[in-house]
Structure 1
Amino acid sequence: MLIPFENMPDNARVWIYQSDKKLTDADKSHIEGLGRSFCEGWAAHGAPLKCSFRIFHDQFLIITVDESHNMASGCSIDASVHFVKQLESDLQINFFDRTKVAFVLNEEVFLEPLSQLKSKVDEGTIQEDTLTFNNLVSVKGELASAWMVPAKSTWLGRYFN
């Protein structure tokens, strides 16, 4: 059952999918259409899930479930992964590439391969206060406080010593 994203509680579980490229208006429209259909039918053992999704920064798809209503099960989580894989196939993008870290620089999101991070820090492209995305946040309330954080407060902090 689709709920407006802003109406989801702060303790709603989230999954963050980072695209390997900036999403176009056509991509976002496609995701919106399929996302609405997916959420309307998403269930765990036949019980509807109170869920939502939103695209952020033209780069991230965030899916959320209010588990105080019904808990997401292994099969329902598999269904959400299948939904995201379908989007990948439809749009020729990758939401599962974990070899790149997203940063905000000059109010734009950019992706940097893990192998290049140390050199980007050394040359000053990535600085201690450069915002980076922590895609491991687990609940909606953390999106405001722990999703975009200064590089120095992540595992990248070791490069600034």
Structure 2
Amino acid sequence: MYIPFDQLPPQARIWIYQASRPLTEAEQVEIKPLLERFATEWSSHGKGLQASATLLHGRFLVLANNEDATAASGCSIDASVRFVRELEQRYSLSFMDRTQLAFLDGEKVELVPMPELKSKVAAGEIKENTLYFDTLITNYGELQQAWPRPAGNSWLSRYF
């Protein structure tokens, strides 16, 4: 069962996938109904999930499920990964590359390869207050309250 993204409860579980490149406006228009259809049909052991999906900042695909209603099973999570892989193939991009970190630079999302992180911190290009898109957060409430968040308030704090 589809739930509008902005109506999810704070404890809803989320999965964030970061695109390897910005999605064009045309791609976003095409993808949005695919997301809604997936969320509508997404199920766990034959029982429909209270799910939602959206694109944020033209770069992030977010899938969500109200686990208080029905928990996502291993099979349903596998189905979501297959769906994301299909989008990767269709739009010639990657949503699974976790070696790129995303930061907000003004209005633009900038990717930094993980091997460059230490040098960018040392050079002062990335600071504790630089806004970071932490794709490891797992609930909707945290996404709403602290995303992006200062890098120093994330797992990146060890670099400062």
TM-score range, shorter chain: over 0.9
Query: For residues 56 and 32 of structure 2, what CA distance do their matches in structure 1 show?
Result: 12
Aligned residues: 160
- Unaligned runs of at least 5 residues, structure 2: none
Query: For residues 104 and 36 of structure 1, what CA distance do their matches in structure 2 show?
Result: 27
For the residue of structure 2 that corresponds to 1:62, the secondary structure is: strand
Contact 1:137-1:146 at 8 Å conserved across structures:
no
Query: For residues 155 and 42 of structure 1, what CA distance do their matches in structure 2 show?
Result: 31
Query: For residues 151 and 36 of structure 1, what CA distance do their matches in structure 2 show?
Result: 31
* Cα distance per residue 1:106-135 (max 9 Å; x no partner): 221110000111111122211221011111
**Cα shift at 1:81:** 0.5
Distance 1:121 1:141, change over 3 A: same
Contact 1:49-1:66 at 8 Å conserved across structures:
yes
Query: For residues 151 and 117 of structure 2, what CA distance do their matches in structure 1 show?
Result: 11
**Cα shift at 1:145:** 3.0
Query: For residues 90 and 141 of structure 1, what CA distance do their matches in structure 2 show?
Result: 31
- In structure 2, the partner of 1:23 is 23
- In structure 2, the partner of 1:105 is 105
For the residue of structure 2 that corresponds to 1:14, the secondary structure is: strand
- Unaligned runs of at least 5 residues, structure 1: none
Query: For residues 128 and 104 of structure 2, what CA distance do their matches in structure 1 show?
Result: 12
Which letter does structure 2 place at the counterpart of 1:49?
L
- Structure 1 ranges of 4+ moved more than 3 A: none
TM-score relative to the length of structure 2: 0.94
**Cα shift at 1:33:** 2.1
Distance 1:155 1:7, change over 3 A: closer
For the residue of structure 1 that corresponds to 2:79, the secondary structure is: helix
Contact 1:134-1:146 at 8 Å conserved across structures:
no
**Cα shift at 1:153:** 2.4
Is 1:68 aligned with 2:58?
no
Distance 1:133 1:43, change over 3 A: same
Query: For residues 121 and 67 of structure 1, what CA distance do their matches in structure 2 show?
Result: 37
- In structure 2, the partner of 1:159 is 159
Is 1:40 aligned with 2:17?
no
Query: For residues 49 and 158 of structure 1, what CA distance do their matches in structure 2 show?
Result: 37
* Cα distance per residue 1:74-113 (max 9 Å; x no partner): 1011001110000000000100001010001122111000
Give the RMSD, CA atoms, in angstroms. 1.3
Is 1:82 aligned with 2:65?
no
Query: For residues 154 and 106 of structure 1, what CA distance do their matches in structure 2 show?
Result: 19
Identity %: 46
**Cα shift at 1:71:** 1.3
